Amino acid sequence: MSETLRSDLGFDYIYIEDQNAFDDLILQYSQSDILSIDTEFVRTRTYYAKLGLLQMYDGQTLALIDPLKCEDLSGLWALLENENIIKLLHAGSEDLDIFAHYGQVEPKRLFDTQFAASICGFDHGLGYGRLVEQCLDVSLDKGESRTDWLKRPLSQKQLDYAANDVFYLYRLFPLLKQKLIELERFEWVFEEGQLQASGRADEIDFDNAYLKVKNAFQLTPKQLALLKPLASWRLKTAVKKDVAIGFILKDHILIALAKAWPKSLKDFGKVREMSNLERGRYGKQVLSCFQQADFENLPERIDAIAYRDDYKASFKLIKKELTLVAEHNQLPLEQLASKKMVHEYLGWFWKQPETLPKILTAWRGRLTNESLSKIEI
């Protein structure tokens, strides 16, 4: 079953809630050269986002697909991996997470219009509405951005909002493409898309969950040995229950527990960050985690290179050189080399692991290799 609707801005789209209609649509889209794609989802207390709507447009047929009714999305996953089709997204990180979770796919030939805009003269991190307004002189209503996309039926206003997100995305592409070709940067967007998508469909790394705990860099190696099984348990519990990890135990509680190292339920009284309810619910599990701590093979301090005496001076030197490269190429420094990337580069420089840092790969590497190779730190 599909229904044709007309948006408040004057274009038609179809609403699909039938598996056969969806399969026919995918067959049509598989012959396309370009597809604009967006998702609407809800993610409040869950670990994984709950997919509420899929929007797609090939320049001819704009479709809103109800994934609550069309449960077999295998055709879409195959479409995303088709290297003959350019997929347009805007700031697509969360969309990529959805594709990785539901379809275990990493899209090929991905064109992120936010990134594309940032390397051809627009502001860094420009939102979709602002970009549409600046390029197409159209003002979009963003009033439905916080709607409940799992609730049915969806209103006409909600559907119009969702349709706008792919209709104008498709129209942005030729304008951005022209600018990028003039600057000889068109292929950069696909290289960046590959970097953005890479690794998202990998299995969850439970053993290294402690590395993502906020402020874990404060802990000593012995404290990290306690944090490691604790963070792994929390992540496994969150995934199993499909609950956001913060609703198990928040990061600052994990840090406090690793510092205090309670050895019995009575010892939890000195961990003020942990409520009585949390102690009763998770106290035994925390103690069990601490019993698994491996003190014979202590983890290295997180961000250990930041404790080097020459770190700040080296960071400043690298950033200064990269700022010159960014200015010479008229690029936002944040896009060429964020603070995280500079930190990653220094870690690679001092430790020389096999995997190259992001700054030295793809389009960034072609801009920075020569300059960085001349710096002595």
Summarize pLDDT for 71-83 with one digit per residue, the tens: 899 999 999 999 9
| 144 included as an active-site residue | no
pLDDT at 190 over 90: yes
Measured CA to CA, the distance from residue 2 to residue 18 in angstroms comes to 7
| 97 included as an active-site residue | no
User: How is residue 209 annotated by DSSP?
Assistant: G
| 161 included as an active-site residue | yes
Query: For residue 8, what pLDDT band results from cuts at 50, 70 and 90?
Result: confident
Measured CA to CA, the distance from residue 135 to residue 176 in angstroms comes to 9
pLDDT of residue 377: 84
| 210 included as an active-site residue | no
Measured CA to CA, the distance from residue 159 to residue 241 in angstroms comes to 31
Average pLDDT of span 168-182? 98
pLDDT at 365 over 80: yes
Query: For residue 98, what pLDDT band results from cuts at 50, 70 and 90?
Result: very high
pLDDT at 1 over 70: no
Measured CA to CA, the distance from residue 326 to residue 319 in angstroms comes to 10
End-to-end CA distance of the chain: 65
pLDDT of residue 256: 97
- What mean pLDDT value characterizes the chain? 95
DSSP-assigned beta bridge partners for residue 4: 14
Dihedral (C-alpha) 299, 301, 302, 308: value to the nearest 10 degrees?
A: -150
pLDDT at 306 over 90: no
pLDDT of residue 145: 67
pLDDT of residue 307: 85
**Annotated active-site residue in 57, 128, 161, 345:** 161
pLDDT at 94 over 80: yes
* Residue 162 φ/ψ, nearest 5 degrees: -65, -40
pLDDT at 272 over 90: yes
**Annotated active-site residue in 165, 192, 210, 282:** 165
Q: What residue ranges define each of the domains in the chain, with the CATH number in brackets?
A: 2-197 (3.30.420.10), 209-291 (1.10.150.80), 304-373 (1.10.150.80)
**Annotated active-site residue in 17, 58, 66, 95:** 95
DSSP-assigned beta bridge partners for residue 88: 36, 111
Contacts 24+ apart (CB under 8 A), 174-183: 175/135, 175/136, 176/113, 176/116, 176/117, 176/120, 176/135, 179/120, 179/121, 180/116, 180/119, 180/120, 183/119, 183/120
**Annotated active-site residue in 38, 112, 144, 344:** 38
Q: Which of 15-19, 284-288, 306-310, 326-330 has the weakest average pLDDT? A: 306-310
| 38 included as an active-site residue | yes
